[in-house]
Amino acid sequence: MSENVHEVWSDDELDRALATLNAEVPPGDVALAKARAELMGASGAPQAVRQPKARRHWGRWAAAVAVIAASFTALQVVPFGDEPSLPTAAAGELLTRAADKIGASDPVVGPGQYLYIEEHDWGGMGALHPSDPAKGWFYLDERFNEKWVPADRTQEWLWRKRETGNRKWIVGGPNQVPPMPGSPMPDRRARCGDFIIRQSEKPCEGPGSWYRPTPEFLASLPTDPRQLHDLIRKEVSSRSHPPEMAAEFTMTGMLQQVLDLAKPGVAPADIRANLYRALALTPGLVISDRDAVNLDGRKGVALGLEAEGVRWEMIVDPETGQYIGSRQTQLEANSQRVPVGTVTSTAVRIGVVANMGDKPRS
């Protein structure tokens, strides 16, 4: 048994971390990575010198007010008001077909086996100063998020984050980067996947939420696509964001919320299918690339939205209906010197293994 079974936070510490997640992206591997700095602080790790910072997909920084709220002015925004534009018929039809297929390709995890989930990520990290861009730095780096989920999900899970050391500098250079606390992150183990919990809680006993999608919470979601769409929109709209960014935040927030729950291994196939059908009702959603390729070279179809000066895309395998990755592409110049055309992307793959820590054969 690992010494660090799970990370225990005080109520205040967890509230601050959840507030950070509220401002950027819903739960899942990416959101847990965003909470990393606070997690390390709560566990007593040394802290770096504070300065404006952001982690992972830079397009989401616009939602984090304290980072660079004014940096991503939406120059091409799809309407999202009282009379929103409709999603294209092609995008809706593709998602509906994907929803019909999504369960057939799910791997069967037998007793004593583990579902292996790997997210390969080229994401952004940086500290960008709106008042003095020359001080800013920003790079893309490569990471792997891996999880081993037992067939009995109340048993112990393993979460492993690997950094390859590969970087692509976009703004500034290595001499501008302060020491990063808690890198590399140690393996984390916890029953029910409760890697981050309150001091008053025990693994498997906390209430479910969008940030903690327990089986009970997922089962409580509406089965009607329109009701589910409206519920997600209401949830996303309630999160903190600059008033002038409400429309963009809601659009991209809905896409992000669906992606985090639609990742393989998070929710059962029937719920993922309903999430697709709910997303199909989102205004402005289009098929952005019929010949998309994810970070690992797997072919699919990209569906996207344009907001915050960024194109946000999910990539779906049309043959299986599975979500296989995401992309964010910088469309417009901004004050932080992030070049037009800069891309962050992910690829997701799954498999079944006999032992925790094993990997499926390629």
Strands (E), 128-178: 137-150, 156-171
Tell me the three state secondary structure of residue 166. strand
Q: What percent of the chain has pLDDT over 70?
A: 71
**pLDDT for position 16:** 40
pTM above 0.85, yes or no: no
Burial class (CB in 10 A: 0-12, 13-18, 19+), 233: buried
Residue in 320, 238, 225, 316 with CA at minimum distance from that of residue 275: 225
**pLDDT for position 50:** 33
Instruction: Indicate the DSSP class of residue 50.
Output: P
What rounded mean pLDDT belongs to the chain? 76
Considering only the C-alpha atoms of the chain, give the largest distance between any 2 of them, rounded to a whole number of Å. 57
**pLDDT for position 12:** 44
Residue 87's pLDDT band, with cuts at 50, 70 and 90, is low
Q: What is the mean pLDDT of residues 213-236?
A: 94
Q: Summarize pLDDT for 168-205 with one digit per residue, the tens.
A: 998 888 888 877 665 678 999 999 999 988 888 899 99
> What are the CA-CA distances from residue 184 to residues 2, 161, 193 (Å)?
17, 8, 20
Residue 248's pLDDT band, with cuts at 50, 70 and 90, is low
* Gap between the Cα atoms of 273 and 2, Å rounded: 36
Would you say residue 219 has pLDDT above 90? Answer: yes
* Gap between the Cα atoms of 84 and 283, Å rounded: 6
> Residue 199 is encoded by which pair of tokens?
């001091």
**pLDDT for position 181:** 63
Domain boundaries, the chain: 7-353
Higher-confidence residue of 284 and 120: namely: 120
Would you say residue 134 has pLDDT above 90? Answer: no
Q: What percent of the chain has pLDDT over 90?
A: 48
Residue 316's pLDDT band, with cuts at 50, 70 and 90, is very high
Residue in 106, 34, 104, 38 with CA at minimum distance from that of residue 64: 34
